[in-house]
């Protein structure tokens, strides 16, 4: 199956959701393949960054809803198992990865698709893109981390309204509200995402992974606990070969060569 396309570049990988006729809505089997592609990137020592994007006009329209979601003889579908076993595993893999993930949101990101985008470390969006908390339109609640990412990204007042109304917001609004890093012209999205991935692939990998750990811990930490974690991870970084190379390069007035 080619509904998840893996593109290998020098130092980074592109993971492309590839069901353009369905705006890249995901199925259970597609999510299994996406998880496998994330795991393969994680296991590849030569891979130092990942770009997640969609083929065609959409980034990801969320979970594909078909006849299997209608109540049957055995009762309603088990959406708790779907969320925990598939959608949330994608979010956990992205957030728990050593790799920096760049989302290149090329079109609609709805429902779980919005969660997958917002789980990434840096989110770029084409100006034609839209973010939609579509769950309420089906009588559902946000999943795939959307309630968490929205509340921390745009504040509780806006997060509640987006979740309860299901209104779409455009990329410029998402950037102005702090939901994403940057909105760019549609024609510039791919090149900007690739340039970011190339830049991240040359950065100190251990420091990037530790930075992800800091931000993952921050929401549940007091300031004192976060300061302790910063000090601990800074100590680890200070003992690394990358730090030694960074200092040498600074003193020698040349670009550092991390991981060389």
**Edge-to-edge order in the sheet of strand 50-54:** 4-8, 13-17, 50-54, 101-105, 122-126, 182-184
The pLDDT of residue 221 is 95
Total count of domains within the chain: 2
pLDDT in tens, 40-70: 999 999 999 999 999 999 999 999 988 777 7
Domain contains 257 = no
Q: Kindly give the parts of the chain with pLDDT less than 70.
A: 1, 260
Residues 220 and 104 in one domain: no
Q: How far apart are CA 117 and CA 127, in angstroms?
A: 15
The pLDDT of residue 260 is 59
The pLDDT of residue 68 is 75
Domain contains 259 = no
The pLDDT of residue 247 is 96
The pLDDT of residue 132 is 97
Provide the whole-model pTM: 0.94
The pLDDT of residue 1 is 60
Residues 226 and 192 in one domain: no
Write the DSSP string, 145-156: THHHHHHHHH-H
Question: Contact, 29 vs 65, CB < 8 A?
Answer: no
Domain contains 118 = yes
Residues 146 and 212 in one domain: no
Domain contains 258 = no
Residues 31 and 79 in one domain: yes
Question: Contact, 123 vs 105, CB < 8 A?
Answer: yes
Q: Where residue 243 sits, what CATH number does that domain have?
A: 1.10.12
Domain contains 260 = no
Q: Where residue 142 sits, what CATH number does that domain have?
A: 3.90.226.10
Enclosing domain of residue 182: 4-201
Percent of the chain at pLDDT exceeding 70: 99
């Amino acid at each position: 199956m080619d509904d998840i396309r893996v593109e290998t570049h020098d130092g980074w990988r592109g993971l492309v959701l590839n069901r353009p006729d369905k705006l890249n809505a995901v199925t259970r089997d597609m999510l299994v393949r996406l998880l496998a592609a994330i795991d393969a990137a994680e296991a590849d020592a030569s891979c130092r960054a990942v770009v997640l994007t969609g083929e065609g006009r959409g980034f990801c329209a969320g979970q594909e809803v078909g006849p299997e979601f209608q109540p049957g003889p055995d009762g309603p579908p088990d959406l708790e198992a779907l969320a925990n076993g598939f959608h949330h595993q994608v979010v956990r893999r992205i957030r728990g990865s050593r790799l920096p993930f760049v989302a290149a949101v090329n079109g609609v990101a709805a429902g779980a698709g919005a969660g997958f985008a917002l789980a990434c470390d840096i989110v770029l969006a084409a100006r034609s893109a839209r973010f939609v908390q579509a769950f309420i339109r089906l009588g559902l609640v946000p999943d795939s981390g959307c309630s968490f990412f929205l509340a921390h990204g745009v504040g509780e007042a806006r997060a509640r309204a987006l979740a309860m109304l299901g209104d779409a917001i455009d990329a410029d609004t998402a950037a102005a509200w702090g939901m994403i890093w940057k909105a760019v012209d549609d024609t510039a999205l791919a090149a900007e995402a690739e340039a970011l991935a190339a830049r991240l692939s040359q950065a100190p990998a251990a420091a990037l992974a530790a930075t992800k750990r800091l931000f993952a811990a921050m929401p549940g930490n007091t300031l004192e606990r976060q300061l302790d974690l910063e000090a601990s991870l800074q100590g680890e970084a200070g003992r690394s070969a990358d730090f030694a190379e960074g200092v040498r390069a600074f003193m020698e007035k040349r670009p550092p060569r991390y991981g060389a």
